Amino acid sequence: MGEQAQTTIVDTYALMAEATGEITKDARKALDAIRTKKVDGVIHPLITYEFLTQYHRKRLPAFDSSEEALEFLNTYFGIESLTNDTASTASEIKMKSLTTLKVMKRHLASCDALTIALAKIKGYRILSGDQDLTLVARKEGVIVIW
């Protein structure tokens, strides 16, 4: 897992925190390592979808167009494909999360389940401040930075 362990999936939560200036010191350090190509940063298509949805909701004032927001993602992050195997693992994680998050009356978003599944399958870390994602990912043995 040497080289792969350095690959980090950047969750929508982290991207939004960066855009709104609410990023933590550790998350800032991880994003800087991705920007300077010391660490590979990746996203998947549902993260792109969520990020662009936030643009359309006018929550990303740094971008003048959705094309510019997409160009930002394509410049800094590799894109991981989602497969049926990833979806199968994500569905198992989502079902297990029902018990984990039930006490808090919370649920795991499908995008988050896919992010955790991809990280688990590939041996990647996740950069996120999302509490639900973090709790479930750590139960699945995935390292979460934040």
* Contact of 28 with 146, CB cutoff 8 Å: no
Give residue 1's Cα distance to chain centre. 19
Domain ranges of the chain: 4-145
Topology annotation, domain 4-145: Rossmann fold (3.40.50)
Q: Determine the Cα–Cα distance for residues 127 and 34; give it in Å rounded to an integer.
A: 11
- Encoding tokens for residue 141? 């043995």
One-letter amino acid at 117 equals A
Q: How many residues does the chain have?
A: 146
Strand order in the sheet with 78-79: 78-79, 41-43, 8-10, 125-127, 144-145
127 touches 137 (CB < 8 A): no
- Name the burial class of residue 96, with classes exposed (0-12), middle (13-18) and buried (19+) by CB atoms within 10 angstroms of its CB: middle
Question: What is the model's pTM?
Answer: 0.91
pLDDT of residue 136: 96
What pLDDT score does 1 carry?
A: 39
Name residue, tokens 């795991």: 108
- pLDDT for position 33: 95
Cα gap 144→134, rounded to integer Å: 6
* Residue-level pLDDT, tens digit, the chain, 146 residues: 344 448 999 999 999 998 888 899 999 999 999 999 999 999 999 999 999 999 999 998 889 999 999 999 999 999 999 999 999 999 999 999 988 887 778 889 999 999 999 999 999 999 999 999 999 999 999 999 98
